[in-house]
Structure formats: structure tokens, C-alpha cells
Structure 1
Amino acid sequence: ITVIENETIRKIAGKYLNDSNLWEDILRVNNLTSPADIKPGTKLFIPVALIKENQESLNNAFTAINEASKAGAKLFAESLISKASNLYEDAVKKRKEGKIEESTKLAKSAKENADKAIIESQNNSKTSGTALLSFKKGNVENRKPTELVWNEAELYAKLFEQYRTRTLSNSYAEISFKDLSKIRLYENSQAVIQSSRVDLLKNQKRATVNLEKGEAYALLLGNGKKKDFNLNIPGLDTKINSKLFWVQKENKETKIANYNGEIEVTASDSMVVIGENEGSVVPDGGVPSEPKSLLPAPALRFPELEKTFYVSSVNFNWDEIPGAVKYSFNISGERNFDNLIQSNNELTNTEYKLDNLEPGIYYWRVAAVDQIGFPG
């Protein structure tokens, strides 16, 4: 085509590719570096069919990868979904390099692997294993109901009914269920799986975990509309209508902090409802305390969002929260904070330094902990 008066690169992309955001592809194909290079009389080559096919292939691959993830592929078809994701990233890279045909081939291969991951996930989700040890750091151990001794837990080991998992000092673990719900055990904690679902992805039967001691976060991400999950706490009767909550059982009492929905707790014939951003303490053999508000989240000051560093050491700092006695710091390479790289729950000031960070993208968060011990 020949560019006419008052015709911008975005208008050209919208006219020929039906998407004005694809203007960069036109620049790449024509070895141009800036929209300023587009002037009246400039002749442009636009491979319309190739670009449209590539965009459709990338969109299909992206959708298939998301569907596979929702089906539990990160747990039940890890190699396939990992391959699909890597192929998709390579396809995007080739697209940015202007290698459209190579990008399309990679995108189609990514979709094929994602489709296989969906099928494999659906098949594996119906097996008898209740859960998987999806992440571990430090000393994490398992014990089968037929064994008397604890053994080192293997990453991605299947966990069945009555299996116990415990973390030792400076260690933590994540137990993932087939509906993608997670229990995160912090140091010196112990949990036992009590029952399973026939097919957790369809929420056909209750999944129950018994927290015997220590500290745990529960993140419920089931695909079904009905959230049919329970975290049992000895001595308490709980009805959970929450997707995210924290429990600590130690020193002859249980603390519960809730961050979503509500949790009904009954003990010694007394019942309270813990609402969103509230916490309650239940002494062993006693009644639940009236729910109290949790502390707000501190404002994160440094590093700023999308800050780039060229060094391996980073100083993090945040605002002080009135009423906080300490802070909990988490950093992960994943937006949803799976696979924590570092966790420190005993910080008494508003800064923390991390050394020897590998190149990559990181996400960090801080919670203020009040005098009772509730993380906000």
C-alpha cells in the first residue's frame, strides 16, 4: 500500500488487520523503527493473511493454556503445561522479532500441548490420590498411616487419606488439592488429610484437612460454584464460606484470621461468625472471643512497581502500621505467591534486605501482625 495524507500507522493497522494495536507488526515487517517513519507516499508491505493467522494462533494458544491451568494442569500434567507455556513464550518472542511464520508454528504447537494437558488433567483428577505436595522448602516430612517413623517428603508426592505432613524449623510446604485449593504450612506445623473427593474438580465430595499443630494459610480456588472444603481444628466446629483464611494452633489456643467471606466457629456451645478481615481466639476448652478487626495492609514504599535492578541485593521497605508488633514478609516469582522464595514472619521493623536474588520478575507483600498475633 501507499500511505496517504493524515493516515497514521494505527489507522493502517486498524484498516487492514482489524486491530489498531498491531501497528508494530507493520513496522517490523518493513524494517522500520518508529511511527515517525510513516509519511505520505511511504510504500508498506502488509502480509495480512500471515499476521491474522499468527494473531489467531497466539490467541488460541493463550486460551488453551488458561483452560489447562483451570483444569489443574500445573498439578496433573506439569510437563505438558510447562512445554505449552514455553512454546507460547517463544512464539511471542518470534512475533516481536518479526518472524511471523515461525511464531505461528510455535503457537500452534503450544495449543496442541495445552489441549493434551487438559485431557491428561481431567483423567488424573479422578485418581485416588487426595492431594499433592506441590512445594517444599527446608525440612518437610511425611508419614503414612501404616508407618511409625517420619520420612523426607518428596516434591509432588501424592498424599492419600490419613497421610501426615509436617514442617520443621525454618521450613514450609504447600499441599495442593485437585480443585487447586491449597494449604500452606509454615514452620513447625503438622496436618493430616482425613478425607477426599471422588472428583474434586466437580466438587462431588468433601475434602478435609486436620491441622494438628502450627500455622497454616488456606487458599480455596475450586472451579466448582460450591466451595466444599473444610479445615478441621481439634475441639472446634467450623463452617467455612471463605476462600482465604489463616489458622494457628499452639499454646493451648487456636487463632483464626479471615480475609474473605465468613467462617462460623462453634466451641463449648458458643458460636461466633468471623467476617472478612476479622479474627477470633479460641482457648482449648473455652469459647471463641468476639471477632476483632485485623490491621490494614502496609503501603509498600520501595521498590516501586516494575522497578528494575541491575544488582542482586535489594532493600525493601514499607509504612509503619499503628498497633503492629511485627511484620510478615513474602516474596515469590509468581503473582499468586505460589512457591515462596523467601518468607520472614518475625520482622520488627519496616525494612528487609534480600541478597543473591537471581535475575527475574518478583512479587512481594507485607502483612502487619497485631499484639494477639493476627496477620492483617
Structure 2
Amino acid sequence: MGDPNLWTEILRANDLASITDVRPGMELVIPATQVAAANRALRQALQAIRRATEEGARLFAAEQIEASLRLYEEGVARRKAGDWDTAASLAGDATTAALAALETATAQRDAAAEARLSDRTGSVEGRRPQDLAWSDRPLGAMLIEEEKVRTLSLSSAQITFRDDSRLRLSANSQAVIQRMRVDPLGRKEEAKVSLVEGDFYALLSGRSERRSFELEVPEARTDIESRNFWVRRDASGAKFTNYDDRTLDVAANGAAVTLGRNEGTLVRTGQAPSGKIGVLSATRLTAPADDGETPSPDVELSWAPLADADGYWLELAVDPAFQRLAASRWGLKDEHFWTDPLPVGTYYWRVAGLDKFGLPGERSTVWRFHVRVDRTPPFLSIGEPAEGAILRSDAIRVEGEIEPGARLSLNGTVVEVGADGRFATSATATRLGENVLTLVATDAAGNLTERTRSFRYEPDARAILRFDDAIPRLGPGRFVTGGDVISLAGATDVGTRLLVRAADGAVRATTHADDTGRFALNLPLAAAEEAFTVEVVQPSGFSSREQFAVVQKRDPPAITLEEPPPAVTAVERLPLRGRAEGARSLTMNGRPARLIGYAFDEAVTLHQGENTLELVATDIVGNVRVERFEVGLDQNPPELVGYRVTPFQARAGEPVWIEVTARDASGLRKAAPFRLRVGDKEIADFLELGTGGAYHASLPLPAGAAGRVRLLEVEVEDYVGNKARFTPDK
């Protein structure tokens, strides 16, 4: 079908969604007839457009020839889209429009003496004799006598005369069309152009019968027979180069020089022309290849270095006659140039070397290239390994086929591909279990097709089985639980199956490892201690075994204290020492207590009044033992409620009755020392505690003791050591 990128059209013609749907033995419909018809119609349209252009259609039938070109380009686009019938129809319309343009151009060639702005890039301005200011000149503008034309930076303009002779003004140039005359009966024409500044390239038509083309350059006179020459005017003077076998005569300041083919001369300001200067020979273009294709709109043009070249002049056009430029760059220093993004189409280019005088040398051979932006990703098919394959070896063979000419990478590494697009290479499994191969095909346009292929690497090796550290255990491989079921979890190889068997061989529980290798199961228990075997079966069928045991523990830890805490105390800090046998953790009033082995040594700060002490011991499987104690803190001394001494006046030998009443939260001690004064004698003794918190004493007075009775001091003490000394009479 003439285009390697049309393989998608074969899929479409056969209602296939992907290249992978194609199978050996399948009959395929090839839309060759429609393709051939569309191509034939497009070729005929292009021939008609070229013929009309050669007869001056761009000048005298511009709208018709542009319409023909537009229809042709639309037809090319529809061809690339696979719409063959529409492409052929548009090509026929383009042929019709081109033939109409040809007829119009033929009829009007001799109808006007104007020239036409047939091509422009950048900014191009004109100024007619009656105009006061410069104004923009659109493409196709008609130019008259005495009209000035100028180009600005990075701009160019092509002036085409009625006989298809052309002047190409480069950037920053200005010229005046001084005279244009036509004799329709004698078919003779005359033209005179004045170059004010800058440069232009002249290509005069060989079909015209004009007698001469006059060129006016300040300080120089010319006599032109040449049909192909270049001239430049700047502050230093003028420069001329002839590329034709016909001569170009240049005279100035009393001297003259005749330039033959590929010869140039310099006319310095106020001086005679220099001798003939041979221009540089043509350079050789290197890339892109002549008539080659590029899938990218950004194209790098390159050429061979030219000895003695001080720079290069590159011209890029959309037609072989260089009447429509896409770019013109003067003074390039490097032997390559990147274009701006170019639309899809065919382009022509040439390069000339610039010598040290700035004279352009011979132009290179014209090459052409085709921009065909390819947005269709290349096809890529993987034959081996099969999707989801289970492989025993870590060395993996990878085979398949891609679009010929495309590049291929496997997990980022470049793979060598045969001329027919087939490839065969090897890879290495990077991990046990699931592995993924990523293949990327990249065509010359940078389009990507990515395919992945998954497989499992399961070597015949013992699987690693790890139970989580959080599972309670009494030792290696000896788990413990407080219930009739134990929950086990851990990690092993991805996709592995686990079977837990009791001592009699019966399967007690089963599970599978997930895609991360994790597993979990609940194992019912039938005895206080059981031995189990877990069978680990890999996806490949290879199995291994591990043993473990499970112990049921139901009794909570036992808490014993070295000394029981007192019911009441006057000391705020109460030490508690003891053991919590079998405990993993211990808390005292909700605060973690430190265990050394099973021993603990803690202290509790009491507050005034009753204090509840709670010890909670928890073993490895969660069995709990709670012990509570009540301890009172009493730091207040006893309180005197009242007292009584009788009689108030005592006689010698008469007994004295003393009663003191006190109270205390922790209880009073049985005896309370006191001091009594009778008259001038002082007596000390002890009161004895009776019921109701009252102390009593009946004291017989010694001989000589008589008079007033006063209770000087009583000291009362509670059971935790708090004392209060009272002086009632004071």
C-alpha cells in the first residue's frame, strides 16, 4: 500500500481492535484498490497544480490556484486518515480548480504590467509615490511603478514579474521598482529596479523576450545579460555575484569588470570594482536524506563543513522553485539548523557558503524531505513468557515482535531488534512470587507503546515462614493462649497455601498468603497443650513443613506481699513489696509497676483518710488477678472533748476523781499521763481509757496535800503515734 504506517487501516478494514487480535490462518482484507485510486487522483492533482503554476497561475489566478492547493492538502490529510473515497474526491476537485487557474493565467499573462508580491515571510511593507507613510503589503499585493518595497528583520519578500522573473529581497532590504513597460503586440517588456540597501537574489525567466533588465545601484552601473545573480548594497559599497553562463558587467569610477559564472566582485565606496573573485564551491547536504521522511515537525538540517567558509546561507521552501520560502537564514555559523515546527508536507532546501567578503558561493544541490507527523503508536506483541506463567528458574526468555524500525527497551534496558521486527532476549526474576516485565516500543516519531507481562517466580526451595512477634509464646515455637482458639498471623511467600495439621494428621485450619505474603488464621484447640505441623505449599506445588505447639493457660497470676499493709498509718509513703507470679505486667492504682522477674518493689503516697490500693497483674494471654487493700492515713493528733475534776477543794486524805474525754479517728491508746496540783503539791499519774473515749482516774491524795485542785496537763496519744498535750486549766 506504499506506506508502512497504514497497518492500522488493515485492522480497520477487518474490524480488528488490536494487532494482538490477528491470528495465523486468518484471511485479511487489504484495501489496496481504494488506496491506489486515492493515490492516483492525488498525483493527477499535483501535476495539474504544477503545470498551472509554471504558466503563472500564482500571479494571475492566485485565488484559484490557492483553492486547488487547499483541496489537495485536504485530500492528502484524508488519505492519511484512511478516508480513501473522500481523498479521491478532494483530489478531483483540486485538479478541476488547477485547470481553471491554468486557463485564467494563460488568458491574462499579457493583460497587466504590474508585478506581484508572490511570497513573503515576516514583515514586508510598501510605499507608493502618493503615500506619505509605509504600510503593510499582503501576500498577492500588486506592485506598480515607482513603488518602494522593504523588508524588516527576519523577513523576506519575493517580487514576481509577469514573465515569472523573480527578485527575492532578504531581511532588512529596500528596493524601488522604477519602471515596468509592456508591448503586448511585440511581446516585449522592460523593467528597472533600484536597490537602496540590503540584498536581493534575481532569477530572470528564460521564456521572456525582454531586451534587458536594468539594475540601479548607487556608485555602480550594470549591464545585465545574466539570468541568475545576487547583489548587495550597504555602507561599505556594493557586492555582486553571477551564477549564470551569461555575463554581468559592473562599472564604477572609470573601471569595469565582466563577471562570468560563479564569479563576484566588490565595489567599495569611491573605488573601482575589485578583480574577479571566485566564489566558494557548493557544500554537500547530509541530513535529512534526500527524499527522506521525518516524523517530527522539528527538523534538524545539516551539511558538510566547507573550507574557507565564514558562514552559511540556508533557504527552506515549500516548492522546488523556491518561490514560497518557509525560512531564510543568512550568516549561520554552524553546519546545522533546527527549523521551527513545520506543518505536514514536502519541503525543499539548499545551502550556500559565505566567504570572508560576504559573497555567497554556489548553492548546494536541492534536497527535499517530507514531514509526516506520525501519531500512531508502534505495535508490540509479546510471545514469551505467557501471561501469569509460573517459572522455576530466575532466567527468563523474552520473545516477541514490534514494528520494524522501532526501538525496544525491556525494564529500561535497550533490546536488539531484527530487521523484521522480531526480538529475543533474556531477563532475570527480581523477586520470589509476582514479577512484571515492562517493554516499551518507540518509533522514529517518538510514539510509545508499552506492554507489561506478569509471571511468578516459584523455585523449588523451602518457603520462609515467619510468625508475628506479637503472638504470645513461652519459647521458640511454643505459643500460649487463654482460650479455646488461638489466632496466628505472619508472613511467607506470596500465593502460598498453608495447612495446619494436628498430631493425628487431621487438617485443623487452612489459609492462603495474600499478594504481599501476609497470612492469618484461627486455630481451634482440643487440649491444654497440643503439637501441630504446618504444611507450606507454594504455587508451583513444592511443599515444606514446620512444627509448633500451643499451650492453654487459664489461671491468672498470683499476687503475694512480703508484709500486708497496715489498716491505718501516720506515714504518707507506704512501701509495697512482693511477687506477681506468672505476670507479664503489673499496675498499681492504674500506674504501671516495674517487674524484675516476677518481683516488684513499689511505694504509694497516701492521702489523709481512707486509701484504696489496687494491684492488677496480667499474664501473657490476658488472664488478670486483682488485689485490693484499704489503708487509712491519720496524721491528726487526738482532740480534747472535755474534762472534769472533783472535788474542786480537797481535804487531806480525801480522793480526787479525774475524767478526761478525747476522740481520734484511728483510736486512742489505753493510758494517758497527767499532772495534778493540789494546793501547793504536784502529783503525776496515768489515766486509763474507758468506754466512749473517756479516761478516768481516782487518785487518793498523799498526806499533807489539800487545797484547791487543778489539772495541769494531760497527754493523749492515738494508735499510730499522733500525740496531743492539753493544759486544761490554762
Q: What TM bracket, shorter-length normalisation?
A: 0.7 to 0.9
- How many residue pairs get aligned? The number is 325
Q: Does 1:313 align with 2:298?
A: yes
Deviates more, 1:115-124 or 1:128-137: 115-124
Q: Does 1:349 align with 2:349?
A: no
Matches within 5 A, 1:43-54: none
AA in 2 matched with 1:291: K
Q: Does 1:327 align with 2:312?
A: yes
Q: Does 1:69 align with 2:61?
A: no
Measured after TM superposition, the shift of residue 180 of structure 1 is 0.8
The equivalent position to 1:288 in structure 2, one of 250, 255, 273, is 273
* Deviation readout 1:33-55 (Å, 9 max, x if unpaired): xxxxxxxxxxxxxxxxxx9xxx9
The equivalent position to 1:212 in structure 2, one of 179, 184, 196, is 196
Measured after TM superposition, the shift of residue 228 of structure 1 is 3.3
In structure 2, distance between residues paired with 1:120 and 1:201: 20
Measured after TM superposition, the shift of residue 73 of structure 1 is 0.9
Matches within 5 A, 1:91-110: none
Instruction: Tell me if the contact between 1:298 and 1:319 (Cα under 8 Å) persists in the aligned partners.
Output: yes
The equivalent position to 1:116 in structure 2, one of 79, 97, 100, is 100
In structure 1, distance between residues paired with 2:285 and 2:130: 48
- Match in the other structure for 2:230: 246
Percent of aligned positions that are identical: 36
Name the SS of the counterpart of 1:265 in structure 2.
strand
In structure 2, distance between residues paired with 1:116 and 1:199: 26
Measured after TM superposition, the shift of residue 80 of structure 1 is 2.3
In structure 2, distance between residues paired with 1:170 and 1:90: 30
Measured after TM superposition, the shift of residue 374 of structure 1 is 0.3
Name the SS of the counterpart of 2:323 in structure 1.
coil
Instruction: Tell me if the contact between 1:330 and 1:366 (Cα under 8 Å) persists in the aligned partners.
Output: yes
Change (3 A) 1:120 1:312: closer
Name the SS of the counterpart of 2:102 in structure 1.
helix
Instruction: Tell me if the contact between 2:62 and 2:140 (Cα under 8 Å) persists in the aligned partners.
Output: no
- Match in the other structure for 2:386: none
Instruction: Tell me if the contact between 1:181 and 1:221 (Cα under 8 Å) persists in the aligned partners.
Output: yes
AA in 1 matched with 2:201: Y
Instruction: Tell me if the contact between 1:202 and 1:224 (Cα under 8 Å) persists in the aligned partners.
Output: no
Name the SS of the counterpart of 1:121 in structure 2.
helix
TM-score of the superposed pair, with normalisation by structure 1: 0.75
Based on CA coordinates, which of the two structures has the bigger radius of gyration?
2
In structure 2, distance between residues paired with 1:298 and 1:286: 32
In structure 2, distance between residues paired with 1:303 and 1:239: 40
Measured after TM superposition, the shift of residue 114 of structure 1 is 4.2
TM-score of the superposed pair, with normalisation by structure 2: 0.40
AA in 1 matched with 2:240: I
* Deviation readout 1:132-175 (Å, 9 max, x if unpaired): 11122222111111122111222211110000001112221111
Matches within 5 A, 1:164-243: 164-198=148-182, 203-224=187-208, 228-243=212-227
AA in 1 matched with 2:224: I
In structure 2, distance between residues paired with 1:124 and 1:135: 20
* Deviation readout 1:59-107 (Å, 9 max, x if unpaired): 9977765553333111110222344566678999999x9x99x96x988
- Match in the other structure for 2:142: 158
In structure 1, distance between residues paired with 2:44 and 2:297: 37
In structure 2, distance between residues paired with 1:344 and 1:133: 20
Name the SS of the counterpart of 1:237 in structure 2.
strand
Instruction: Tell me if the contact between 2:190 and 2:210 (Cα under 8 Å) persists in the aligned partners.
Output: no
AA in 1 matched with 2:290: L
- Match in the other structure for 2:679: none
Change (3 A) 1:317 1:116: closer
Instruction: Tell me if the contact between 2:58 and 2:118 (Cα under 8 Å) persists in the aligned partners.
Output: no
Measured after TM superposition, the shift of residue 335 of structure 1 is 1.3
Change (3 A) 1:185 1:81: same
AA in 1 matched with 2:147: Y
Higher helix share: 1
In structure 2, distance between residues paired with 1:107 and 1:312: 24
Matches within 5 A, 1:19-34: none
In structure 2, distance between residues paired with 1:121 and 1:144: 26
AA in 2 matched with 1:277: N
- Match in the other structure for 1:339: 324
Measured after TM superposition, the shift of residue 369 of structure 1 is 0.2
Name the SS of the counterpart of 2:189 in structure 1.
coil
Change (3 A) 1:235 1:228: same
In structure 2, distance between residues paired with 1:201 and 1:74: 24
The equivalent position to 2:282 in structure 1, one of 287, 297, 302, is 297
Name the SS of the counterpart of 1:338 in structure 2.
coil
AA in 2 matched with 1:164: K
In structure 2, distance between residues paired with 1:172 and 1:202: 34
- Match in the other structure for 2:540: none
Name the SS of the counterpart of 2:250 in structure 1.
strand
Specify every segment of 5 or more residues in structure 1 that has no aligned partner in the other structure, as ranges: 1-50
Measured after TM superposition, the shift of residue 322 of structure 1 is 1.2
- Match in the other structure for 2:240: 256
Change (3 A) 1:312 1:293: same
Instruction: Tell me if the contact between 2:124 and 2:155 (Cα under 8 Å) persists in the aligned partners.
Output: yes
Structure with the bigger RCO (C-alpha within 8 Å, sep 6+) is 1
- Match in the other structure for 2:260: 275
Change (3 A) 1:189 1:200: farther
Instruction: Tell me if the contact between 1:178 and 1:201 (Cα under 8 Å) persists in the aligned partners.
Output: no
In structure 2, distance between residues paired with 1:299 and 1:198: 42
The equivalent position to 1:364 in structure 2, one of 327, 349, 352, is 349
Q: Does 1:78 align with 2:53?
A: no
Change (3 A) 1:170 1:69: closer
* Deviation readout 1:302-360 (Å, 9 max, x if unpaired): 11112222222222221111111111122122112222212211211212222422222
In structure 2, distance between residues paired with 1:108 and 1:199: 38
The equivalent position to 2:114 in structure 1, one of 105, 121, 130, is 130
Specify every segment of 5 or more residues in structure 2 that has no aligned partner in the other structure, as ranges: 1-35, 362-730
In structure 1, distance between residues paired with 2:122 and 2:74: 33
In structure 1, distance between residues paired with 2:168 and 2:144: 17
Measured after TM superposition, the shift of residue 202 of structure 1 is 7.1
Instruction: Tell me if the contact between 1:254 and 1:281 (Cα under 8 Å) persists in the aligned partners.
Output: yes
Name the SS of the counterpart of 2:292 in structure 1.
coil
